[in-house]
Structure 1
Amino acid sequence: MDPTLYCPGLQYELRESADNRLWSVQPPYTGCAWQGPISATATAMSTVGAGVTSPGQTGARTTTAPRRPMRRGGKPPPDRPQRALFCLYLKNPIRKLCIDVVEWKPFEYLILLTIFANCVALAVYTPFPNGDSNVTNGILEKIEYIFLVIFTVECIMKIIAYGFLMHQGAYLRNGWNLLDFTIVVIGMISTALSTLIGDSFDVKALRAFRVLRPLRLVSGVPSLQVVLNSILRAMVPLLHIALLVLFVIIIYAIIGLELFSGKMHNTCWNEKKEAFMDEPHPCGANGFNCTEHDSDMVCSEFVPGINNTWEGPNSGITNFDNFGLSMLTVFQCITLEGWTDVLYNIQDAMGRTWQWSYFVSMVILGAFFVMNLILGVLSGEFSKEREKAKARGDFHKLREKQQIEEDLKGYLDWITQAEDIEPEGEDQSNQDARNNPANEMESTDQLGEEEIQQESWFKKRKKDFERINRRMRRSCRKAVKSQTFYWLIIVLVFLNTGVLATEHYNQPLWLDRFQEYTNMFFIALFTMEMLLKLYSLGFQGYFVSLFNRFDCFVVIGSISEMILTHTNVMPPLGISVLRCVRLLRVFKVTKYWRSLSNLVASLLNSIQSIASLLLLLFLFIVIFALLGMQVFGGRFNFNDTQDKPRSNFDSFWQSLLTVFQILTGEDWNAVMYTGIAAYGGVHGFGVLACIYFIILFICGNYILLNVFLAIAVDNLADAESLTAIEKEEEEEAQNKSKSPTPHEEENVEEEEEEEHSVEEEETEEDGQYDGERSEHDEEAESQTKMTLDNEEEYEEEQNSQGCDLEGKFEVRS
């Protein structure tokens, strides 16, 4: 049982001494119902230890095994094997030093800082084609040795501390440690090969694994581990979906190979000019007619090895000539990016007859059905993990509650036994408690006489003003929570939105004046609304609501924009940015629109998981951007007759933008075609470059981005359930009373907080006012008290009258 017991408002400890008998109380211990018995037993435990048993013990004293020391944060130390690497025991000084270092918090921060610095060094590196380099890259290559040494030392120290592989809890038994070990080993191999044989292709390929080092940040950030582990748990059902997708792609690839093989290489050729069309595309006898376009044009057939023949669309990559390219083309069509271009090229080559049925059925079956199963799986797994986490939280709360109840019972039993040992101290404290009320009553009588003498005309007027002020605040509070006020604010918000929508380029002068005056009008109305709520709810009650804070920010921003506009203090660009604050007024409708308010509240509740997912997505983009720089850096300018495409991997920031473009699915296939052509096209191993883009698109678009949709779907379900519960509560309330209360249109939680803060303030004021106005009654009660003979008669009289004089004296004071 935990020897530390918590109580509301205090924390004290009961610690067992070395002989397992004496117990001591650590002050302060005020604020609990049983503080008296503890103070009474504090002295008794120091002298009579052998006769008192510890909490939870009855009868003879039992000995317990010594507890293991707790680490900082309350977590027990991990179980370590008695021997590591077959020779290093726990008492070995080298192993003890390694354990202390690797479990030292600053060491963990140092490793994370080193990983971050390594990511910066990789980002600063500038790739050049044909093995070229510059001075900066040379310096970074030397710094790379320092990073490799640091990571190697960390790896060796953890192996010494935890062991290598052969026991539970060893270094390689952890998946993140396995990733670290793999990166370190590959780094050592690439460095050794670079030193021995120079920068060959194999060495560069191994160096590309350095981009995995940012993944080590995941092992140091627990929130990232939670999100990534949730995604990894969904890998088994996702694997089933992947097999189904692969099955669909293979079927359509084989069908396309049978129907469209070799149909997309013929194009129009001008025999006189010996040139192709400006924008070449396939042609055929039943498809596009070159003669109708130009009498000198003929449909030239594809002849391999001749320069004046056209390979096909996208440098001959988009076709159904073999099984591999056919699968790549089908996958592109399933992603819904550029599938119409493939359809139109097939129609130009074969005619506009039945070809559309192949592509339409492929899109419906592959994109609309099979690919959307990924979202369903992720949403289902996310909901399951959320329910499991909620169940675990409820279970832990229940266990903590039961443990606290058991501890309380044990300590109270122990305190009861301690009270029986030395009751004299309690008798003395009770005698002092009997003498205190009489002294307090005498002092309150003197204070009452002084207050009567000091009361003046100004004080009475002040009391009357406070009473009127409270009534006015109640009336204003009812007004701001009424149905009429609700619809008035809604109408004003929509009118303001309509006025803002009238702004356009090169608008007339009278419209400028109209917008200016209406903006000042709405600012005045919304400012009056804010001041009215501040007066009715009070400063504290108003700012309890997050929406009221947002509303105050919008009003202050609008007033600042109006002042700066008329004084010409800020430049025009700054004023234009500040005017965007006006648009935030539209969000005022979320306060009064219940279903929308519940949806926003659900999204705000999931902001932590969304933030962790955003961090993981950014880490994913950084890794693939660095990998793209290693693989495609400086290679997209291979064609001297054309400009270098904007989507490239020549710098870190441009690589980040290109990777994000591929994640969104916008024209990702064009970037893939350029990457394949940069390595020689379809005639060599350049077609293998598509693996990078396919993995990036699947992991980024279909998995990570769909997790956002899974969170949104889950939040939408929560918002709908919350709205349904509120509607049921409204119906029950209407069945009990047909007159609905004004606050039904407000947010329930914010309403309770505002009402509680305002009513508490007014209750305190009313209590002070009533206490000051009831002096005559208090004087009569004090005289009645003084006529009592002794303390026992006073207590009987007090109980018979049914009033708490002590409380009234406290109010009076």
Structure 2
Amino acid sequence: MDYSSIVFREFTHESLQRIECYRQEEAERITSERSEETLCKNNINDHHLINKSSKDPANASKRKPNKELATGETLPLILQYKFPPKLIGKPIEEIDQYYRVEYGFMVISANNTIYRFSSTRACYLFSPFNCFRRIAIRILTHSLFLTLVMITILTNCVFMTLKNAPEVNEYIFTAIYTVEALIKCVARGFILEKHTFLRDPWNWLDFIVIVLAYITFFVHLGNVAVLRTFRVLRALKTVAIVPGLKTIVNALIQSFIALRDVSVLSTFILSIFALVGLQLYMGTLRQKCVPSYDSFVNNTNSYSEGFNMSFESYLTKIDNEIYWYKENGDYLLCGNASGTVRCPAGYICWKDRGMNPNFGYTSFDNYGWAMLSCFRLMTQDYWENLYQLVLSTAGRYHAVFFVVVIFFGSFYLVNLILATVSMSYLKEQILVEAENKERERRRKDDELEIQKEEEGKVLEAHALLHVDNEQYVENRRSFEDSNHTNLHPDFPIELEQNGKKKKLSHKQSFQASPSPFQCDKLIAGATTIPFFRETQNNSTDEDRKSELVVSCSDLADLGQNDNRLTITLYQAEPHVQHVQTTEILSAQESNRTSFLPKNTAATNTSGVFIRLVRIYCCEWSCKLAIFQKIQAAVAFIVLDAFMDLFITICIILNTLFLALDHHGQSETMTLILTTGNYVFTAVFAVEATLKIIALTPSKYLKNGWNVFDLLIVTVSLIELCFAHVKGLSVLRSFRLLRIFKLAKSWSTLNRLISIVGKSIGALANLTLVLIIIIFIFAVVGMQLFGQKYGENFGKDMPRWNFFDFFHSFMIVFRVLCGEWIESMWVCLECAGWPCVPFFLLTFFLGNLVILNLFLALLLASFDSNVLTEKEDEDDKIGEAIDRIQRFFHLLIENLVYFFRGKKQRQKDADVENKNNENPLSTAEELVNNIPSANFNQSEDINFAVPLIHDLSTTHEGTEEQPIHDETIEFHPTQSILYTPPSCCPKMILKHFCCCAKCIPQGIHERWTTIRRHSFSLVEHRYFEWFIIVSIVGSSITLALEDVHTRQQPTFSEVLEIFDKIFTIIFTLELILKWFAYGIKNYFTDGWNILDFVIVVVSVLGTGLHLFGVADIPAFKSMRTLRALRPLKALSKFAGIRIVVNALFGAIPSISNVLLVCLVFWLIFSIMGVQLFAGKFYKCVYVGTHDRVAASENVTNKTDCLNKNFTWENSRLNFDNVLNGYLALFQIVSY
């Protein structure tokens, strides 16, 4: 983009006249284009004019706004360089051609952000030149104003979390928001023109919040006060301020747009399922067991009233719930169809009794509740309860309905939402990356442009200074004669830091050793180094002088691996003044563009930057010979591969010690574990100390793992110092971080940690959006339903509630984890129907959209080879193990060589001498050992053998005779056919040669013919389909066996006959494949091995049944392995084989990831043992094992036992690491 013609002018009255001129020119241009367009349409039949005007002139000439100069963007770098500082915060004329024809002006803030305003009167009162409006503009564009607004919003959010916040807070924050809105209206205008207050969608939220706040202040309408809750939506304004959040929000908006079609499809499918459920299960969940009429008349129950009871009176009585049958405290649901729950004796199943289960909110009685139930099935939240209720009242065959709903709703629609959200984000991310690349390209172009302008300024300054070229050349040559190591004593280097100047004389050689005590001398600021640069053509007439200005942070990043540094500077005339650049040079990488020209002198001066880093930035070394020897010895020990192996073993042992901690352990065990902790802490502390000595502190801290080790050692030492201080026992948990040190030697763990770390960085913006969403819903839930919970439950508050912000936050987080239906039932009980849209919206936005976006982005961090690619770094653990293996191999070889004796060694020597004397004998043996192919002769085949022409034979005393390139044709009387390979393994033929020689030729030919026919049979497609049908039939017979089979002898006998038939078929298939492929080739295929195992299991099961021992428990499990038969079908279809092979191929990577997950779970399991061991005991009633009611006032074990209750542990607890694993598995699988 060419910005050379742009000129920044302050907005004045003349600017309004220029806008009128621009508008007039634009109107003339549009009129001209429309005339040209009309001319094209009038000559539509002229083919030449059509081709000439193929492009629409009106569309081709339409101006578009410059994206670089859009409102809210940062001013381009080249324009920042040109922008006069005196115009910061002041109205200036529009520089974008697109906006020049509009009545408006620009304002550039101090951080180079672009603002646009209308040049018309704001609110019909304030012109662009009004002092009040200019003050408002100055305030609005100042970065401090935005900061104050954000602080106000965050403070308001904090007060919203308080249960009983003072009412005066509402007035204060409303006043602040009102002042903010007034400033914006004065600066921008209200709504009529572009760039006014309500033309910005983010201001709509502010306006609505302020209006609702004043309504609640002045209009007392009861529940209207809840409208104040929507003030929390102002937290969304952080999206417009925090960098990177706009990308996430745009992705979410695009996701909602893309989810439009998916939502319609999901609603349509759920509607179909809801209508089906409505027709099938309407009223079925209200079926109860009530006493029968006969039981009342015949006095067979406690409610009998004798023979005089009429049927009408009976119908009236059974409406009373006291007569209904209960089981485990709940009314028993029943049915009259086959497979339903039957009522006990004296009761009958009666429909339309009482309300539905779960407070009456689980039913298919109308379309709304049926839709909610189907949505519950789709999200799989507590769906098994609904499944059991329906099967109890409708029958077991209705399980098909739930299978279909779960498959299409949960497996299809939910994953379709995941795919849609993921695609929307990826598209947005691609656009953002393209914009970032384009912005980076423009930045580099701007830097080049600035560099050229800087060169021009330096040339102008050089021409004005009239430097004496001859004297300059002489001074330079004299400087070069001194090998460029020291500067002239009269002209020292002048360093300027924060306005303070410091001179370095020639005695301060740049080869001096740095001092460890000079770290504090390098402070933030600019360092100025005068130098002369040469041009690329080495012309001394064009030499010119400049002065480098660099930041100390840039110096610290330069060349950290150089050991010795030199500098080449040229001395200058004393009277020459310095020409100082105003920009900062960042010379960290050679491919970065500098504001200064790239030339020889600039390259030479890069050395001084590196040298200054060495001098000022803690590059520690000691020149004492004794210390260097000690350092070398320590480095030899601590950097050796065996040291890493030793530390890894210590980490594993330390992990084992941590995992042995459990509840109720003996004092001896506690002492052992404590001592072990001291030992391992000392080992890791010594390791860190030795590495610091060997590497020096600066090099040690450059490695991230070393910093991590040092942090763990420091925390461990602090924990030892405060081990007996109450409240600091949580520091023990930091010991668990030692397990992560395994990542240094475990490549899979290292890669996964790196992936997760990178993903966390990439998902930081999405995490912030998620936190904002959770916060908003938590506050809204607390404001809407918190009071209702207090009124309805009082002291018997349920664990999941909206009474305060903490519990509200937890219940929203639970909804995001997928568990929403039970909390919604409790909310409906106390707050009514508003709970339904609240929970559904929370679940949809939080779980189905944002959390799915989390999953999609995490999966995007993995590529196909991320877990199998090799590490570039050296594997010291592998090196140590390899050295140990080589040592033992060498030891074993020496021992064997020693004990074999002299005789054997002499025998080996004789064999070696024989081979050396007659090398051809070995070759002949190899040729003779080559197995001959099996061929069968036939008369119909001819073949040709090409001879290679470049082979030749040589003999002593004769010349080489090359073999000519020719082809010899053979015409045998019989052709050659390939026959199946030998079915006997080579090992058998090698040790039992008679097996290959004693078989007569005729028998061998018949055997080959049988195998050939077997091969043709098993390869025939009809045979394959017959086996597939047999597999399906066998699977059906296995599926028909159930607990009632033994009660039907005939049916059971038929199933046994079919089982034997299928066993014979599969056995014959196995034998035929042995004949066709040979035993060796058969067992080289994993699918054939699976078939063999299945056949063996079937034969054994049939044999056990024939001998009458199949019912023995030890052998009964053998028959259950017949369930493997359907697996035979997997090998018959190519597509299924590919999928299964892919699954098996992924097992190694999955195993590695599973091991890493177990390590992560181990950390949390050990932490759970340390924090919660022995804390899951509870007091329960004897016999029922129900928790004792709160009214019993039981606070500890002693109270429980004194009141004759039972003190027992929960099934899930953290008393040891294994129990912790089970508890964590329940958490991750929820």
Both proteins in one fold, TM over 0.5 = yes
Given the alignment, which residue of 364, 368, 371 partners 2:407?
364
How many angstroms apart in 2 are the aligned matches of 1:415 and 1:641? Answer: 80
Which runs of structure 2 are paired with 1:136-535 in the superposition (5 Å)?
139-140=166-167, 142-194=168-220, 198-199=221-222, 201=223, 203-204=224-225, 206-269=227-290, 272=302, 274-276=322-324, 277=326, 278-286=329-337, 289=341, 291-292=343-344, 295-302=345-352, 309-352=353-396, 354-412=397-455, 415-416=458-459, 424-435=467-478, 464-465=625-626, 468-469=629-630, 471-472=632-633, 475-476=636-637, 478-479=639-640, 482=641, 484-535=642-693
Deviations 1:168-188 (A, max 9, x none): 322222221111112222333
Which runs of structure 2 are paired with 1:491-640 in the superposition (5 Å)?
491-565=649-723, 569-571=724-726, 574-575=728-729, 577-636=730-789
1:190–1:206 contact (8 Å) kept in structure 2: yes
2:118–2:193 contact (8 Å) kept in structure 1: no
Q: Deviation of residue 543 (structure 1)?
A: 1.2
Name 1:699's counterpart in structure 2: 845
How many angstroms apart in 2 are the aligned matches of 1:521 and 1:511? Answer: 15
State the SS of the aligned residue for 1:376: helix
Q: Deviation of residue 649 (structure 1)?
A: 1.9
How many angstroms apart in 2 are the aligned matches of 1:634 and 1:226? Answer: 38
Q: Deviation of residue 626 (structure 1)?
A: 2.4
1:265–1:301 contact (8 Å) kept in structure 2: yes
Q: Deviation of residue 395 (structure 1)?
A: 2.8
2:759–2:858 contact (8 Å) kept in structure 1: no
State the SS of the aligned residue for 1:78: strand
The one-letter amino acid of 1:412's match is: E
The one-letter amino acid of 1:659's match is: V
Deviations 1:289-332 (A, max 9, x none): 5542xx45443432xxxxxx421112322111111110001111
The one-letter amino acid of 1:492's match is: C
Deviations 1:333-386 (A, max 9, x none): 11111111111111111222x111111221122112211223333333334444
How many angstroms apart in 1 are the aligned matches of 2:401 and 2:722? Answer: 62
How many angstroms apart in 2 are the aligned matches of 1:728 and 1:80? Answer: 59
Q: Deviation of residue 264 (structure 1)?
A: 0.8
Deviations 1:398-439 (A, max 9, x none): 322233334334543565576567655333333344455779
2:637–2:643 contact (8 Å) kept in structure 1: no
Q: Which runs of 5+ in 2 are unaligned?
A: 9-80, 83-92, 96-105, 292-300, 304-321, 490-505, 509-621, 876-881, 884-1230
State the SS of the aligned residue for 1:72: coil
2:140–2:184 contact (8 Å) kept in structure 1: yes
How many angstroms apart in 2 are the aligned matches of 1:612 and 1:641? Answer: 40
Computed over aligned residues only, the root mean square deviation of the Cα atoms, in angstroms, reads: 3.9
Change in 2 beyond 3 A, CA 1:420/1:104 = closer
Given the alignment, which residue of 68, 84, 88 partners 2:126?
88
1:81–1:167 contact (8 Å) kept in structure 2: no
The one-letter amino acid of 1:316's match is: G
Q: Deviation of residue 563 (structure 1)?
A: 4.9
Which runs of structure 2 are paired with 1:727-738 in the superposition (5 Å)?
none
The one-letter amino acid of 2:384's match is: T
The one-letter amino acid of 2:696's match is: G
State the SS of the aligned residue for 2:653: helix
Deviations 1:195-215 (A, max 9, x none): xxx42x4x2454443443433
Q: Deviation of residue 539 (structure 1)?
A: 1.1
How many angstroms apart in 1 are the aligned matches of 2:627 and 2:441? Answer: 48
Q: Choose 1 or 2 for highest CA Rg.
A: 2
Structure number with higher helix proportion: 1
The one-letter amino acid of 1:186's match is: L
Change in 2 beyond 3 A, CA 1:268/1:326 = same
How many angstroms apart in 2 are the aligned matches of 1:364 and 1:494? Answer: 44
Change in 2 beyond 3 A, CA 1:541/1:323 = same
TM-score by length of 1: 0.68
State the SS of the aligned residue for 2:408: helix
Change in 2 beyond 3 A, CA 1:692/1:259 = same
How many angstroms apart in 2 are the aligned matches of 1:664 and 1:323? Answer: 27
State the SS of the aligned residue for 1:318: coil
How many angstroms apart in 2 are the aligned matches of 1:115 and 1:468? Answer: 62
Which runs of structure 2 are paired with 1:2-81 in the superposition (5 Å)?
70-81=108-119
Deviations 1:48-99 (A, max 9, x none): xxxxxxx99xxxxxxxx99887421223443543443455321123322322
Name 2:161's counterpart in structure 1: 123
How many angstroms apart in 2 are the aligned matches of 1:332 and 1:695? Answer: 14
The one-letter amino acid of 2:758's match is: N
Given the alignment, which residue of 676, 700, 715 partners 2:828?
676
Change in 2 beyond 3 A, CA 1:657/1:729 = closer
How many angstroms apart in 2 are the aligned matches of 1:391 and 1:729? Answer: 33
Identify the range of structure 1 (697-706 vs 419-428) with the bigger mean alpha-carbon deviation: 419-428
The one-letter amino acid of 1:234's match is: S
How many angstroms apart in 1 are the aligned matches of 2:277 and 2:466? Answer: 97
How many angstroms apart in 1 are the aligned matches of 2:474 and 2:435? Answer: 51
How many residues are paired up?
A: 620
Q: Deviation of residue 545 (structure 1)?
A: 1.8
How many angstroms apart in 1 are the aligned matches of 2:794 and 2:205? Answer: 44
How many angstroms apart in 2 are the aligned matches of 1:640 and 1:654? Answer: 15
How many angstroms apart in 1 are the aligned matches of 2:174 and 2:289? Answer: 57
The one-letter amino acid of 2:418's match is: L
Given the alignment, which residue of 108, 111, 118 partners 2:149?
111
How many angstroms apart in 2 are the aligned matches of 1:421 and 1:635? Answer: 83
State the SS of the aligned residue for 2:284: coil
1:477–1:537 contact (8 Å) kept in structure 2: no
Q: Which runs of 5+ in 1 are unaligned?
A: 5-14, 16-54, 57-64, 127-135, 303-308, 449-460, 680-685, 732-737, 740-813
State the SS of the aligned residue for 2:788: coil
Deviations 1:540-574 (A, max 9, x none): 11111222111112223333444555xxx423x63
Identify the range of structure 1 (361-370 vs 405-414) with the bigger mean alpha-carbon deviation: 405-414
2:781–2:802 contact (8 Å) kept in structure 1: yes
How many angstroms apart in 2 are the aligned matches of 1:368 and 1:656? Answer: 29
Deviations 1:135-159 (A, max 9, x none): x6xx51x542343333233223312
1:379–1:713 contact (8 Å) kept in structure 2: no
2:631–2:693 contact (8 Å) kept in structure 1: no
Deviations 1:734-779 (A, max 9, x none): xxxx99xxxxxxxxxxxxxxxxxxxxxxxxxxxxxxxxxxxxxxxx
State the SS of the aligned residue for 1:268: strand
The one-letter amino acid of 2:756's match is: L
How many angstroms apart in 2 are the aligned matches of 1:389 and 1:403? Answer: 21
How many angstroms apart in 2 are the aligned matches of 1:3 and 1:334? Answer: 57
Identify the range of structure 1 (432-441 vs 102-111) with the bigger mean alpha-carbon deviation: 432-441
1:636–1:644 contact (8 Å) kept in structure 2: yes
